[in-house]
Amino acid sequence: MPLLDLKGITKVYSLGKTTVYALRGLDLTVERGEIVAVMGPSGSGKSTLMHILGALDTLTDGVAMLDGQSLAKLSEDQLADLRGRKVGFVFQTFNLVPTLSAQKNVELPMIFLGVSRRKRAARAQELLAKVGLADRAHHKPNELSGGERQRVAIARALANDPEIILADEPTGNLDTETGATILDLLRRLSKEDGKTMVLVTHDPEAARIADRIVRMRDGRVLEAMAHG
Ligand SMILES: Nc1ncnc2c1ncn2[C@@H]1O[C@H](COP(=O)(O)OP(=O)(O)O)[C@@H](O)[C@H]1O
Ligand SMILES: [Mg+2]
């Protein structure tokens, strides 16, 4: 059974009299342990896809299975639980809490699962060491570089040992060289722990770290192209 199995996903946003079809019958399967890079023009539905995969948004139509569970059938509480346990998010804008230290940011998802203070602290320190930031645990986000902030966000994404890492343009706010180290880190962490990853990126380097590239256009995944 694939970790992710999406069939005919449609997502419609209604804004007053305007209807936006963000996804129009999208099909996508992702196997366990696979790293898939999603590429496509702005507005093609990449972030909408990520929000649906991460149970941050609901779908209008279609069937979305995550780890054998149909997302459409889950209640709000079940979706929140699934987000907390099975999904780790990495965003372009890092989305760290500015008033909290790196360590406390990494601890946050564990607080929601009721992990004890001592265990949280130990796990956060272990994860910060894993992303090369053992000596930055007590720094706040504004005392860290962009690349370091993204590494904190990656450590946070791993906090609850998720099944899947969802990264939406994780290098979009970083210079090329820093971006490359972040992509390498994501690949290393995914492969070390056998984590599935879906990565939205414009970075031509993505091909280097992904097992497979999926192209989107107008709310759909394009067929794998045999003729270029
Ligand atoms: N919350 C929203 N409300 C209305 N329209 C939206 C919303 N989010 C995305 N869209 C629209 O859906 C389409 C796909 O957006 P998005 O998934 O963000 O694309 P991408 O990430 O590929 O740039 C766009 O036309 C966008 O304007
Ligand atoms: Mg986007």
Q: Quick check: 58 pLDDT over 70?
A: yes
CB 199 within 8 A of CB 206: yes
Within-domain flag for 80: yes
* Nearest CA, atom 2, ligand 1: 13
Within-domain flag for 138: no
Q: Ligand 1 pocket, 47 CB below 6 A?
A: yes
Q: 22 CA distance to ligand 1 centroid (A)?
A: 6
Q: Which of 85, 205, 185, 184 is nearest to 127 (CA)?
A: 185
Give the CA count within 13 Å in the CB-facing half-sphere of 48.
26
Q: Please state the rounded mean pLDDT for residues 89-114.
A: 96
Within-domain flag for 107: no
User: How far apart, in whole angstroms, are the C-alpha atoms of residue 215 and residue 46?
Assistant: 10
Q: Quick check: 74 pLDDT over 80?
A: yes
Dihedral sign, Cα of residue 183, residue 189, residue 191, residue 192: positive
Within-domain flag for 67: yes
Q: Which domain holds residue 42?
A: 4-95+162-221
Q: Ligand 1 pocket, 16 CB below 6 A?
A: no
Within-domain flag for 20: yes
Q: Quick check: 224 pLDDT over 70?
A: no
Confidence of residue 73 (pLDDT cuts 50, 70, 90): confident
pLDDT value of residue 206: 84
Q: Please state the rounded mean pLDDT for residues 120-129.
A: 98
Q: Ligand 1 pocket, 201 CB below 6 A?
A: no
Within-domain flag for 152: no
Q: Quick check: 41 pLDDT over 90?
A: yes
Within-domain flag for 86: yes
* Nearest CA, atom 4, ligand 1: 13
Ligand nearest to the CA of 43: 1
Q: Look at the chain and report how many structural domains it folds into.
A: 1
Q: Which are the contacts of 127, defined by CB distance < 8 A and separation ≥ 6?
A: 106, 155, 156, 158, 159
pLDDT value of residue 225: 55
With b for 16 or more beta-carbon neighbours within 10 A and e for fewer, the 116-154 pattern comes to eeeebbebbbebbebbebeebbebbbeebebbbbbbbbb
Instruction: Please write the tens of the pLDDT for every residue from 138-180.
Output: 999 999 999 999 999 999 999 999 999 999 999 999 999 999 9
Q: What angle do CA 34, 40, 41 make, to 5 degrees?
A: 160
Q: What is the mean pLDDT of the chain?
A: 94
Q: Which residues lie at CB < 5 A from ion ligand 2? A: 46-47
Q: Which are the contacts of 87, defined by CB distance < 8 A and separation ≥ 6?
A: 53, 54, 55, 162, 163, 164, 165, 166
Q: Ligand 1 pocket, 18 CB below 6 A?
A: no
pLDDT value of residue 29: 96
Which mutation among 48, 56, 60 tests ligand 1's pocket best, with the greatest number of atoms within 8 A of CB?
48
Within-domain flag for 207: yes
pTM of structure: 0.94
Q: Quick check: 183 pLDDT over 60?
A: yes
Confidence of residue 228 (pLDDT cuts 50, 70, 90): very low
pLDDT value of residue 180: 94
pLDDT value of residue 211: 95
What CATH number is associated with residue 209? 3.40.50.300
